[in-house]
Structure 1
Amino acid sequence: MFTRIDRYVIRQILGPLFTTLGIAALLLILERMLKLFDFVVNQGGPVEVVFRMLANQIPHYLGLALPVGLLLGTLLAFRKISLSSEYDAIVSSGVGLPRLVRPVLFLALVMMIVNTVLVGWIQPYGRYAYRNLVFDLRSGALGASIRVGEFVDLGDNITLMIEESRKQGAELIGIFLERRDKDNTISVTAERGGFYATEDDQTILLRLYNGVLVDLNEGPNKPRVLSFDQQDLTVTLPAKETFRDRGGEQLELTLPELNRERYNPELTVQQLNAMNANFHWRVMHSLTFLVLPFLAIPMGLTNKRTGRGTGIVIGLSLLILYNEFMEAMETAVSNGASPYASTWLLFSIFTALSFFFFRIAAFKVGGEPLAWIDKAWGFISGPIKRLSKKVMGVSE
């Protein structure tokens, strides 16, 4: 199916592509992990829930990193080929740039399919699962930990405070507890204790050791004081609320569901516009992968004598601007604008600009799409370099 040159080009692309994906995803995940740790700790939840939340966020970050990975992978591969004179040798053998783009387009097609599955199915389910975890964490369904030194309401008219927590909350030290009923109130202090599960998922057992129980009876009898070596108290857990069904907004709908809902007569105009905007954004985001090779290849080809990295800066800048305008166009469609006069117009402009650069590199002799930028930079930097040399000479 592919020639040796095709396989060589793909191998050159895959290395920087996966490296870029790994670095970009790692940076995004680390930045998100810090926020999630802070959120989970403030909510008093178990630390392991952070990694479950991150797992549901990975499809979102992959969707952000895939276009950058394809662009940089292709750009750096062709930059390496051109700097090592391999590109000149390939072209001299009769294989032109339009032929070299074929394996890159195949790779872009594979990544487009992967991205479509991500944004069309995996991301909506991951986003819903993430928000479900946030809901459970805030409602205490994930087993919120007891905060040291604070009075905590456990439900069932129970207030608890502990002085120290050990073994990740399994052992509590210095316990004060108060339970209020209609007829009386009891107060308990204990040296240590811990929570234990019961057969009933609506109750939990609090076992206390070496303490004193004071029964503050409001009747004529005096309060009763009881010392104990071990005392078990059953705590009724508050009823757990159920999270809503998936589909509360367009980001939680799969691509077929989104396409169906944007024609739903029961939705308001604002909701229909939001569904329509997100649908066109997802389709355009996937089709962009087929355009990126025509931008990355001319940005990667460089002059061997100068070896300047102008193409890397320009290529990344164009992709970043394109993504920012994509989000702006989605907002415009959500506000009632036509998707064809906004979203698809932007896609057409980006496609035309990419093909323009590729045409110069492929069909113009000695064509360098960014030659004018290099000349302008040389014109600007020349006097600066000469002035700096004079200043250095005078200082010496």
Structure 2
Amino acid sequence: MLRQALLPIMGTILIGLLVLSAARFLIVFDLVLGNDQGLIIVARLLAAFVPHYLAFMLPLALYWGSYTTVRQLTVSSEVNILQATGSSVGRTFRALVVLGVVFAAINVAVVGWLQPMGRYTYRALAYKLENADFYLRVRDSTFMNVGPRTIFVEKINPDRHSFQKILIYEPLDKGGSMTIAAPRGNITKLGERLSLRLYDGQRLLIENGAEPDNVQSLNFDVIDVPVGNAVAPFRPRGEDEQELLMPELLAQNTALADASVADISSNAHKRLVIALSCLFLPLMAVALGVQSARKKNIYQSIIALLIVIIYHQLVEFAGDVGKELAIGPAALLWFTYGVFFATSVVLFYKTTTGIGTLPDRLSAALSRWGPAGDPLARLRGKPQTP
């Protein structure tokens, strides 16, 4: 059973990571273009983002792999054969429940430790590339932002350290601005800072935007414009709640620069609710996967896939709405989790102890309320038109 389930689970994880990493590759490729160690840096950036994707892919892969395994065994009548030998449905798929516990533990480690550390590592690498490697990111005839400045370089020399026809624009206080134009320049290092050294150019300064005609013009032979810090470290980890480890996140009771206490609470409990969904997803997969061996219901597969998407969207909705309510995001998130968990347990119990597929058992339950309560019975009893 485990061998049959692990193959689609690992395949789903691999395909998902490849697709999501391909989208991220387009973003990070622009950061490292021209760098001598471009491939190595791209690999480090993508590896730092893998835990973020893995946190979502683990529950999805577990659920879809369990569902397809159960569906394949029931359609091929292998479940009926096992039942004929005295093995119950619950015992047959007990390994999937154990696998859910293992995946839940792994995913808690991913969202609680690997994901925040990976996010901080990604941002630190991106910061270094954006600030220390200005000359690697510059493009011919392209405007680019370096801090508050906008820089335009018409031509880059083959050494990528010297340029021709440079224009720099920097907004100042009171609506003023400074514009520097030079026919040539090159990258220099002054102490810990990278500077763009310009030659034989002109600087135009407007100190007050209310007086645009008051322009100060200066012709210079050489001028240095800072464009990055070569060795300055990235900010400490933890200024963003997404970079906090799970123990730090749960213990954080004061607001951060860009996150309120409600935002921090929502982030912490949302991580746990997504990670611990692995506990009930195999139960739901078994309940939906067991079906008649004589008929294939494609709609049941579509519904099975939609359940994970609906659950994820409800968790996001509960986290956002809970921040505006007096009960807080934690209560609403765990209520959503509890509803899905209890529903999965009931459906799993009915599947392993009841008779027939899930639609048949739902129809039998509705029939207890009489013919008016069972729309499926009315549909089956309706005569077919020739």
Partner residue in 2 for 1:22: 14
Partner residue in 1 for 2:108: 116
The structure 2 residue matched to 1:250, chosen from 216, 219, 241, is 241
Residue pair 1:45, 1:142 contacting (<8 A) in 2 also: no
Change (3 A) 1:121 1:292: same
Partner residue in 2 for 1:330: 319
Count, aligned residues: 336
| RMSD of aligned residue pairs (Cα, Å) | 4.3
The structure 2 residue matched to 1:361, chosen from 347, 351, 362, is 351
Is there any run of 5+ residues in structure 2 with no aligned partner, and where? 169-179, 203-218, 364-374
Q: Deviations over 1:140-167 (max 9, x none)?
A: 5465433213688999xxx98453554x
CA displacement at 1:15 relative to structure 2 = 0.8
1:148 is paired with a residue of what secondary structure?
coil
- Rg: which structure is higher? 1
Change (3 A) 1:383 1:25: farther
Partner residue in 2 for 1:104: 96
Partner residue in 1 for 2:342: 352
Change (3 A) 1:214 1:327: closer
Residue pair 1:360, 1:368 contacting (<8 A) in 2 also: no
Change (3 A) 1:194 1:12: same
Letter matched to residue 271 of structure 2: R
The structure 2 residue matched to 1:261, chosen from 252, 276, 300, is 252
Q: Matches of 1:256 and 1:60 in 2, distance apart?
A: 18
Partner residue in 2 for 1:289: 278
Change (3 A) 1:99 1:170: same
Q: Matches of 2:145 and 2:276 in 1, distance apart?
A: 53
Letter matched to residue 63 of structure 2: L
Change (3 A) 1:92 1:242: same
The structure 1 residue matched to 2:52, chosen from 26, 37, 60, is 60
Residue pair 2:34, 2:137 contacting (<8 A) in 1 also: yes
Letter matched to residue 102 of structure 2: V
Is there any run of 5+ residues in structure 1 with no aligned partner, and where? 1-8, 180-184, 207-212, 217-222, 226-232, 388-396
Q: Identity over the aligned pairs, expressed in percent? A: 26
Q: Matches of 2:201 and 2:265 in 1, distance apart?
A: 64
Q: Matches of 2:22 and 2:52 in 1, distance apart?
A: 14
Partner residue in 2 for 1:125: 117
The structure 1 residue matched to 2:305, chosen from 299, 312, 316, is 316
Partner residue in 2 for 1:69: 61
TM normalised by structure 2 equals: 0.71
Q: Matches of 2:114 and 2:351 in 1, distance apart?
A: 38
Letter matched to residue 360 of structure 1: K
Residue pair 2:134, 2:228 contacting (<8 A) in 1 also: no
CA displacement at 1:45 relative to structure 2 = 7.4
TM normalised by structure 1 equals: 0.70
Is residue 80 of structure 2 the alignment partner of residue 85 of structure 1?
no
CA displacement at 1:186 relative to structure 2 = 12
Q: Deviations over 1:305-339 (max 9, x none)?
A: 11223332122111111111111111233334334
Q: Matches of 2:246 and 2:145 in 1, distance apart?
A: 44
